[in-house]
Structure 1
């Protein structure tokens, strides 16, 4: 599969019947659920699990989602969703980019971007990224071309 950026973190998805809406294609909310799913999977693969977030009393919470729906997915489609960390300011935020493709024809169905802000889990208030987040997330940044 060709991706918009090099070295993506990729998960495989299969469209289940419960993801289909009244228009007989995947409901928009399902794409957002998949974006959240891969974000957690990638963070965990990098060593930052929910348990680690809790230990450090920090979380990366969504500040802004941008989702561009380019083509529909249908029941039974095999999909691949890729993500990259494309920015980490080392202070309060990081940005992920996403690309969803249908395996059968390689067509891009979705391009998305999410900006996350760092908060203390205990208070919900903005907090600086812990050194561990800066090192791990910052080290995973892929520069957009």
Structure 2
């Protein structure tokens, strides 16, 4: 599967009262990279026919990041069922490659017409491969 990567630099607004990255910031970055991965090769036709909803989120916090740290974020599709997709997201500190976040999210493909789960087409699978 196609891997998408980006980096973020920790800013003051990402911090919590303990002066390390707030868990909500990590969750937002998981969502942001998932959206980027979906939109990177998306046609207007597919955008008008389908959307994804998050049905399960699992995140393991394995380390901390602080103000000024650069975090490398990587995502890819781990597996698919007929209507769902398991997405893996890893976040590592750029300075030492330490894994700080290990996340898996389960997304369900929804038809914009029926508003119900719909089968993942080959065209959609091709976006991620």
Task: Give the corresponding residue for 2:78.
Answer: 86
Alignment deviations for residues 29-67 of structure 1 (CA, whole Å, 9 cap, x no partner)? 11010011111112222x126x45432x21121111100
Tell me the residue number matched to 1:54. 47
Q: Deviations over 1:12-36 (max 9, x none)?
A: 1111100101111111011010011
Looking at structure 1, the residues matched to 63 and 13 of structure 2 have their Cα atoms a distance apart, in angstroms, of 19
CA RMSD of aligned residues (A): 1.9
Go from structure 1 to structure 2 and tell me whether the alpha carbon gap of 1:136 and 1:54 turns closer, same or farther (over 3 Å shift).
closer
Question: Which residue of 88, 104, 107 corresponds with 2:95?
Answer: 104
Q: Please state if 1:20 is matched with 2:15.
A: yes
TM-score using structure 2 length = 0.89
Q: Aligned partners of 1:53 and 1:69: how far apart in 2? A: 34
**Residue 95 in 1 paired to residue 91 in 2?**
no
After TM superposition, the score normalised by the length of structure 1 is: 0.80
TM-superposed CA distance for 1:122, in Å, is 4.1
What CA distance in whole angstroms lies between the structure 1 residues aligned with 2:45 and 2:59?
A: 28
Count, aligned residues: 129
Query: What stretches of structure 2 of length at least 5 have no aligned partner?
Result: none
Runs of 5+ unmatched residues, structure 1: 1-5, 141-145
